Structure 1
Amino acid sequence: MRLPSMTTHSFQPASQAQAAARRQSATALQALLLRMHFYIGLFVGPFILVAALTGTLYVLTPQIESHLYATQLRNASQGPAQPLAAQVQAARAFLGPQARLFAVRPAKAPGWNTRVMFSQPGLGDSESRAIFVDPVSLQVRGDLIVYGTSGVLPLRTTLDYLHRNLMLGELGRNYSELAASWLWLGALGGVWLWWRARTRGRVQAARPLTARRLHALVGLWIVIGLVFFSATGLTWSRWAGERVNLMRAQLGWITPSVSTQLQPGAPAMSMGEHADHMAAHGMAMAMPAVDDPARFDMVQSIARAGGIDAAEIEIRPPRAAQQAWVVREVDRSWPTQVDTVAIDADRMRITSRADFASFPLIAKLIRWGVDAHMGVLFGVANQILMAAFGIALTGLIALGYLMWWRRRPAAGASLAPLSAAFMQMSLPQRASVLLLALLLGWNLPLMGASLLVFLLVDVIRYRRAGR
Structure 2
Amino acid sequence: MAAPWSHETALCPRSRELSGLAIRLLPQNCERGVDVGEVATVPVPVEAEKAGPRGKGSGLFRAFWRWHFYASFLVIPVLLILAVTGLIYLFRFQIEPVLHADLMKVQQPAGLVAQPYSSQLEEVRQAFPDATVVSMTEPSAPNRSTVFSLDTAAGPRDVFVDPYEGKVLGALNPDTTLSGGAILLHGELMAGRWGDYVIEIAACWAIVMAMTGYYLFFRGRVARARRRAAGAAGAVLRSRHGRTGSVLGVGLLFLIVSGLPWTGVWGEQTQKLATQGGTSFWAEDHGALSNPTSTMDESLPHSHSVPWGVGKSDVPRSDPADKRRSVATVDTAIAVGERNGLRRPMTVALPADEEGVYSAIGYAFNDPAKERSLHVDQYGGRVVSTYGYGDYPALAKVVAQGIALHEGRRFGTLNLWVTTVFCLGVVFMCVTGPLMWWRRRPKGNALGAPRGRLPLRATPALAVLVVALALFLPLFGITLAAVLLLDQLVLRRVAGLRAWFNTVRT
TM range (shorter): 0.7 to 0.9
> Which residue is equivalent to 2:48?
none
**Per-residue deviation, 1:27:** 6.2
> Which residue is equivalent to 2:480?
451
What amino acid sits opposite 2:86 in the alignment?
Answer: G
Matched, 1:306 2:320: no
> Which residue is equivalent to 1:462?
492
Matched, 1:220 2:246: yes
3-state DSSP class of the match of 2:191? coil
3-state DSSP class of the match of 1:107? coil
Residue 457 to residue 129, structure 1, CA distance change in 2 (3 Å): same
Distance 1:315 1:368 in 2: 23
Whether contact under 8 Å (2:103, 2:145) holds in the other structure is yes
**Per-residue deviation, 1:328:** 0.8
Cα RMSD for the two superposed structures: 3.7
> Which residue is equivalent to 1:160?
183
Alignment of 1:336-415 (within 5 A): 337-359=370-392, 362-409=395-442, 414-415=450-451
Task: Identify the match of residue 467 of structure 2 among 420, 435, 443.
Answer: 435
What amino acid sits opposite 1:386 in the alignment?
Answer: T
Residues 255-309 of structure 1, C-alpha deviation per residue, up to 9 Å, x if partnerless?
4343323387x85326966998xx9xx99665679xx99621122222222221x
Residues 132-189 of structure 1, C-alpha deviation per residue, up to 9 Å, x if partnerless?
1122211112211236xxxxx8121022222223322332223322222222331122
Residues 222-265 of structure 1, C-alpha deviation per residue, up to 9 Å, x if partnerless?
1122112212232212222213433544363544343323387x
Residue 323 to residue 202, structure 1, CA distance change in 2 (3 Å): same
- Give the structure-1-normalised TM-score: 0.77
Matched, 1:332 2:332: no
Alignment of 1:147-296 (within 5 A): 154-198=177-221, 201-202=222-223, 204=225, 207=229, 208=231, 209-249=235-275, 250=277, 252-262=279-289, 267-269=293-295, 286=320, 295-296=329-330
Residue 335 to residue 436, structure 1, CA distance change in 2 (3 Å): closer
Whether contact under 8 Å (1:417, 1:458) holds in the other structure is no
Task: Identify the match of residue 140 of structure 1 among 144, 168, 183.
Answer: 168
Residue 227 to residue 316, structure 1, CA distance change in 2 (3 Å): same
What amino acid sits opposite 1:395 in the alignment?
Answer: F
Whether contact under 8 Å (1:253, 1:362) holds in the other structure is yes
3-state DSSP class of the match of 2:136? strand
> Which residue is equivalent to 2:355?
322
> Which residue is equivalent to 2:452?
416
Distance 2:113 2:439 in 1: 68
> Which residue is equivalent to 2:120?
87
Residue 156 to residue 140, structure 1, CA distance change in 2 (3 Å): same
What amino acid sits opposite 1:204 in the alignment?
Answer: A
> Which residue is equivalent to 2:95?
64
Whether contact under 8 Å (1:165, 1:172) holds in the other structure is yes
- Give the structure-2-normalised TM-score: 0.72
Gaps of 5+ in 2: 1-27, 33-52, 298-305, 499-504
3-state DSSP class of the match of 2:332? helix
> Which residue is equivalent to 2:47?
none
Distance 1:413 1:76 in 2: 60
Distance 2:449 2:248 in 1: 30
**Per-residue deviation, 1:41:** 1.4
Distance 1:396 1:166 in 2: 21
